[in-house]
Structure 1
Amino acid sequence: MTGDPKEVYEVAPMPAGLSEELTGYAWARNTIGQAGGTVYRLHGKPGAPDLFLKHGRNTVANDLVDEMVRLRWLADHVPVPIVTHFVSTSDEAWLLMTALPGETAYQAIEAHPANRVAIVDALAEFLRTLHTIPISSCPFTSNHAHRLGLARKRIDAGLVDEDDFDDDRDGWTAEQVWQEMQKNLPLAPDPVVTHGDFSLDNLLILDGRVTGCVDAGRVGIADRYQDLAILWNGLGEFGEPLQERFLTRYGISEMDRGKLLFHLLLDELF
């Protein structure tokens, strides 16, 4: 879990036990993966590992509860940050976890052009591993019917950031995205255990291998295109050959463009 850390000197008040645990750390605000809350990297304490602390209120606090329980479950299957401390009140939550080694896949691909194919191969292998977790063992549901319900609530509540849509939907409204999605329904289900936000910023790379994934609050059983679409879309910034390489290495010989588009549209609403 890296990013663009900025040194900070004032942090929101914390529960006493958590505050004592973090004594001696230097704090840096992290600008990746905040999702409406605040994220800090804690570093520089002699003999102690780097940590990440997420803090949020109200709906963000609920999201941190979701992330905490999913991290604890997912840790038995693939590398993820280990939850070391969690505190939740009626309207606030703090999630403390270990920092994974490496840089984000986005940073790695951007900084090391000669290694891009090998990095994409590693990402595809990691996703195959994630998708082979038996769905019978997963207690979380993230299928498109469930997420459509959440998306509709977000649209009605005015929570969708329409200024953050991909270039293909620049100038669209959330309602237009919603209506376009309907054209790709129904979907033939192909359920696997998905990460839910399998983006280049949520995967860590060190020495050409994936050291784990972060931001696991959407983990659950869903169609495999939930993950395929997001990573494929992110790789588009670096050229179509890398997108094709990713799908081939994952094992997709012919892309389902209807499913791909549906999940790209769905992602715009979160």
Structure 2
Amino acid sequence: MLTPPGNGWITVDVGESDTTVLRRDNVFAKCCGPSGIAELAAERDRASWLANTGLPAATVVDWIENPAGACLLTSAVPGVPGELLPPGVREQAMRQLGVVLRELHSLDGCPFERPLDEVVAVAADVVRRGAVNPAFLTDEWRQVPPSALLASVVAEQPYVESVLEPVVCHGDACLPNVFFDPSSLEVTGLIDVGRLGLADRYSDLALVAIQVHDEWSADPGPFFTAYGLPKPDPRRLEFFRLLDPLTWG
């Protein structure tokens, strides 16, 4: 695996597969081996695009690639990740996130796509390889064979496709990937955008809703109201809530 040049780098996260994240001062380096170069380059391109939209995001500082792998260097965003916010400010943070996510979903000119059929195909491959991570499943879903969970997704897919609303989605809008100013609660940065692209808006909405419920034990109502969708479609929420954990493996 390639590592960034210089001293003083501290490992902050060892990701799944072939990725390690390091930090030095206000720069993060996400590094991979040869097999991960294409995926990391795709994240680089998405991060560069998002940083040029005016929305709060990390900027690409450098890209290093050689036969040993690649390193994507990005700026650290200010603030704290959502999962570290104390209970008393979470409702306001939800409202701020709803506003920013709506702005993200309103962007034009995104050159990246994440078609639903491709996402379902990824899930099918993860299930086929027996690579579903049970930690990403609810207690109820852990009692069900992954193949049956996938069958539920496939059965509901025609409905979701019939009402599809493609917008620019983050793709992994979980609380660790959203940073907030701890005082104003404004969103200061969206990070880890390797899955950013045109997709159904509910792929983001469902993940935020389940994160708010599971991590904050909170009702996501203020988030949906601020987003402008006080009565979301429960079928689409459930569909993407189930599909997402099947795609990590």
TM over 0.5: yes
Aligned residue for 1:143? 115
Instruction: Please name the residue that 2:151 is paired with.
Output: 179
Q: Which moved further from structure 2: 249-258 or 224-233?
A: 249-258
| SS of alignment partner, residue 218 of structure 1 | coil
**Unpaired runs of at least 5, structure 1:** 1-11, 44-49
Give the aligned partner of residue 130 of structure 1: 104
Preserved contact between residue 2 and residue 32 of structure 2 (Cα < 8 Å):
no
> Does residue 65 of the first structure (1) align with residue 41 of the second (2)?
yes
Superposed CA RMSD in Å reads 1.9
Question: Would the alpha carbon gap of residues 226 and 107 (structure 1) be closer, same or farther in structure 2, given more than 3 Å must change?
Answer: same
Mark the CA change 1:58 to 1:147 in structure 2 (over 3 Å): closer, same or farther: farther
Superposition deviation, residue 59 in structure 1: 4.5
| Aligned counterparts of 1:185 and 1:169: Cα–Cα separation in 2 | 18
Aligned AA (2:74) = M
**Runs (4+) off by over 6 Å:** none
Structure 1 residues 113 and 240 mapped into 2: Cα distance closer, same or farther (>3 Å)? closer
Aligned to 1:239: 217
Mind listing any 5+ residue stretches in structure 2 that lack a counterpart? Answer: none
| Inter-CA distance 163–234: structure 2 relative to 1 (3 Å threshold) | closer
Change (3 A) 1:212 1:166: same
| Corresponding residue for residue 20 of structure 2 | 38
Note the alpha carbon deviations across 1:176-204, whole angstroms, 9 max, x for none: 22111123221111111000001101001
Report the residue type matching 1:203 in the other structure. Answer: V
Percent identical pairs in the alignment equals 28
SS of 1:101's partner is coil
Query: 1:245 offset after TM fit, Å?
Result: 1.3
| Letter of the structure 1 residue corresponding to residue 38 of structure 2 | N
1:142 CA drift (Å): 0.8
Q: Determine whether 1:248 maps to 2:230.
A: no
Displacement of 1:240 after TM fit?
4.3
What amino acid is aligned across from residue 121 of structure 2 in structure 1? G
The answer as to whether partners of 1:117 and 1:245 remain within 8 angstroms in 2 is yes
Tell me, in whole angstroms, the C-alpha distance in 2 between the residues paired with 1:259 and 1:166: 18
Deviations along 1:30-66, one digit per CA (max 9) or x if unpaired, are: 238x3431111212xxxxxx11011122553332111
- The aligned amino acid for 2:59 is I
State how far apart, in whole Å, the 1-side matches of 2:234 and 2:67 are: 43
SS at 1:221 equivalent: strand
> How many equivalent pairs are there?
239
- SS of equivalent residue, structure 2 residue 28: strand
Instruction: Tell me which of 110, 117, 120 is aligned to 2:94.
Output: 120
Matching residue's letter, 2:200: D
**Could you tell me how far 1:262 is from its partner in structure 2?**
1.0
List per-residue Cα deviations over 1:94-150 (Å, max 9, x = no partner). Answer: 111111111101111xxx22211111111111101101102xx11111131121122
What pairs with 1:20-35 in structure 2 (closer than 5 Å)? Answer: 22-23=6-7, 26-31=8-13, 34-35=15-16
Partner of 1:51: 27
**SS class of match (1:185):** helix
Q: How far off its partner does 1:28 sit?
A: 2.3
- Mapped to 1, the partners of 2:40 and 2:62 lie a distance apart of 12
